[in-house]
Amino acid sequence: MEGLRSMEKIRMILDGVRDGNIVILEEGLSPDEESKLIEVTMTEISPDDFTGIEIETYPREEASDQSLLDRLMGRESTETLTVIGPANQIETLHKDDQLISALVSRK
Partner 1 sequence: MGLLTNLKDSVSRVTDRLFASEDPKRIGIYGPPNAGKTTLANRIARDWTGDAIGPESHVPHETRRARRKEGVDIERNGQSVTIDIVDTPGVATKVDYKEFLDHDIEKDDAIRRSREATEGVAEAMHWLREDVDGVIYVLDSTTDPFTQVNTMLIGIIESRDLPVLIFANKIDLDQADIDRVADAFPEHETVPLSALEGDNMDEVYDKIAEYFA
Near partner 1 by CB under 8 A: residue from 5, 42, 69, 106? 42
Contact 107, 70 (CB under 8 A): no
Q: Is 53 in the site for partner 1 (CB under 8 A)?
A: yes
Q: What three-state secondary structure class fits 72?
A: helix
Burial class (CB in 10 A: 0-12, 13-18, 19+), 74: exposed
For partner 1, the closer of residues 15 and 67 by Cβ is: 15
Q: Is 8 in the site for partner 1 (CB under 8 A)?
A: no
Cα distances (Å, whole numbers) of residue 69 to 18, 35, 65, 80: 42, 33, 12, 20
Q: Is 101 in the site for partner 1 (CB under 8 A)?
A: no
We find the least distance from the C-beta atom of residue 33 to partner 1, in angstroms, to be: 10
**Given the rule CB under 8 A, which of 7-15, 18-26, 53-61, 63-71 is the region that contacts partner 1?**
53-61
Taking alpha carbons only, the member of 25, 17, 21, 22 closest to residue 44 is 17
Q: Is 55 in the site for partner 1 (CB under 8 A)?
A: yes
**Given the rule CB under 8 A, which of 6-14, 18-26, 51-59, 64-72 is the region that contacts partner 1?**
51-59
